[in-house]
Structures are given as structure tokens and as C-alpha cells.
A and B are shown apart, each in its own frame.
Chain A
Amino acid sequence: MIQTQAGNVVKVGIAQLDIVKMPNTIRTSGLGSCVGVVLYDETKNIAGLVHIMLPESTLSRTQTINEAKFADTGIKALINQLKLAGVQPFRLKAKIAGGAQMFKFASDKDTMRIGPRNVEAVKTELAKNKIPIIAEDTGGGSGRTIEFNPATCKLSIRTVNQGVSEI
């Protein structure tokens, strides 16, 4: 964690999740085809972030799974963590970013379309849980680093070519 004047920045790695309260912020770096899903409660200034890699846990060929890796299990796990922190699920809203296609290939292999599939899966899972998507920055061909501030409920997005924007 990096100490700043305002608070700490909680860093979330690939296929990981975490939650923060104001005045801390939460951040994940280098999203490519992965999707960063932020769930937040603006009345309590609490937010959670999951950095998902794959659309569905059924793709897993292992016995035990890392829940944060998949859209379906990752979003469920994040909702549960937020519940434990005292958030009522019906208050949750979402902002999402990522799901890019970093390389263009003339290949119809599914793994090449993983970005858009991740975004679709995230949207399906959020709809199942009746969580509205307030803003999104998805698709395209650029990597993104995102940081969410639960005090302002703004998601800042940095790309190499377009600099920083806020949604």
C-alpha cells in the first residue's frame, strides 16, 4: 500500500479482489482483456474491486478455484465481502472498465475474443444480482489502469495514449 495524504491506495492484482472505505482508494493496473469491476455503496462510501480474467468458472479445469479469477464467482465473492462490511446489496452500483483486445489476429479462436466475452459475462452477472451499471469504459485496444475513490464515487482511468479520464 502507498501512503498518501488523503489515504491509502489499496492495490488489487490480477485475479484478486479487495474492498476499501473512504478516505482510501482502490486501484488495479494493466487491465488488458481483463475487466475491473467496481461495486460501491455511495451512502456508506465503501467500494470493492475485482480484477477478473475469464468469463465463467466452468472454464476452469482445476478442483479448487480462485473465485476472483472469473466473472460469475468473482462478482458473487465481492458482493459477499461487501455484505460482511455492512453494505446492503440493493444499494450497490457498478462501474466497469477493461475488456480490450490487445492484439488483432485473423483467428476465430475464442481466447482471442476474451475481452468482449469478459464484458458480456460481467454484465450478465450484474444483471442477475440487479446491480445497475452507472458507467463503463470497455472494449477498444488499449490497456487501462483504474482507481476508484469511494468518497467521490469516481473511477479514474489511465491509458497510455489518451491519458487520464474520469467516469
Chain B
Amino acid sequence: MIENQKITSLHLDILKEIGNIGAAHAATALSNLLNRKIDMHVPNVETVSFNDMMELVGGAETVVVGIYLRIEGDSQGSMFFILPIERADRFIQSLIHDDEFSFTNHLISELGLSAMQELGNILSGSYLSALSDFTGLKIYPTVPGLSVDMFGAIISTGLIEISQVSDTVIVINTSIFEDGFQNSNEVHGHFFLLPDPDSFTSIFKALGVS
């Protein structure tokens, strides 16, 4: 296991590149699905306390749509795709051509729900296959789970493994946004990759960095 303090700027650059490659593929997939241009910010890699983690999406009580999956294989970790609830409504409305669909107002159809599930499958699948190609690591995702709830309740699920070893977490955070909106600084979604503490060694080793 690599201690947090032994993570150098080279390591951080590698983790950023992982976020970059993964999210770029996922953003392209989303863009194709919605037939809209989706852009992404430069990934942010930081070591944060559990409580600061909650602030990345506006606090533990913020209601979001969250897709969560575990990564298994040569490297383990947790991966989240988080959408603000209004944004998820719009994405799904556009995917299933139903303007009534709404997580916000509990107007949730089976079709919309499975579209959301499928969106999560596709995006996390493209993120992880890009990651696997880049590192040469054999990794495979579990079937993603979907939850519409408070961000704190959702993200803490991914902190269980890490919390046995540490009180901080290294988070690879990539934000995406829809292009062409007036307020284009508004974040429309987040990918969070939280490698398990023991996984950093295998990631760096796979890329020839010790």
C-alpha cells in the first residue's frame, strides 16, 4: 500500500490522466446518446477528508441521482456517476422522449428508470474500459446500482473500504457539462473514482512507475 504522503506529483499526474482518459470516453458516449455536445473539465485529483468529500457536490444533504459500482480484478475501487437531480430529469426526458418523467417530482416510469440504469452502465463501462486499455490492468465492473438520495448517504457507501485504513480519501473527480449553455461553468455531472488503498501500487506498477 502506498501511503498518502508518498504520492508524488508524478503519481498525481498519472491519476489525473486516468480521470482524463476515462471521463473523455464516457463523455463521448453520453454525447452520442443525447446527441449533444458534452464537455469536461480537467480532472481534479486530491486527498480529502470524508467531510470535505461531501462538499464536492454541495453538501451531504444535496439530493442527487447516483450510479455506483465496484471495480474488481487487478485493481479495486469504487466508482460513482453523480448527476444533479434536475439534470438527470432532463437527460432521461430527452432519452425516452417523455417530458413528464421526473425524479424530482417522483414521476418515475419503469422505462425512465431503466434508461437511467442503462446510462450508468454505458458511461461507467466506457470509463472503465478506457482505464483498462490505458493501464493494461484486467478490471471489470460489478452491475451498477442506482439510487436517488442524499449525496452523503450515497457516497459513504464507497468510503467503507477506505475508512478501514484511513480518514482521508484520494478522489479522482471529473466534472462534465453540456456545451452551448449560457452558464457553461455549471457542472452537470461528476465521475468519482475512488481506488481502494491497496490499489494504487498496482495502478502505478502497471504504468511502470514505482
**CA gap between A29 and B62 in the complex, in Å:** 10
* Contact call A32/B157, Cβ cutoff below 8 A: yes
B interface, over-half SS:
mixed
* Contact call B167/A15, Cβ cutoff below 8 A: yes
The stretch of B26-34, B139-147, B172-180 in contact with A is B139-147
Cβ-neighbour of B165 out of A61, A104, A106, A143 (below 8 A)? A61
Asked if B106 lies at the interface with its beta carbon under 8 angstroms from chain A, I say yes
Residues of B within 8 A of A31 (CB): 152-153
A interface, over-half SS:
loop
Q: For residues 156 through 192 of chain B, which have their beta carbon under 8 Å from a beta carbon of chain A? A: 156-157, 159-161, 163-167
**CA gap between A50 and B7 in the complex, in Å:** 32
Footprint of A on B, CB under 8 Å?
Answer: 50-51, 54, 59-61, 63, 68, 70, 106, 142-143, 145-154, 156-157, 159-161, 163-167
15 contacts between A and B (CB under 8 A): A13-B54, A14-B54, A14-B152, A14-B159, A29-B150, A30-B152, A30-B156, A33-B160, A34-B156, A60-B165, A62-B165, A102-B68, A105-B142, A105-B145, A143-B152
Apart from A31-B152, A53-B163, what are 19 other A-B pairs with CB-CB below 8 Å? A13-B54, A14-B54, A14-B156, A29-B54, A30-B59, A32-B150, A32-B154, A53-B50, A102-B149, A103-B68, A103-B146, A103-B157, A104-B145, A105-B142, A142-B149, A143-B150, A143-B154, A145-B150, A160-B148
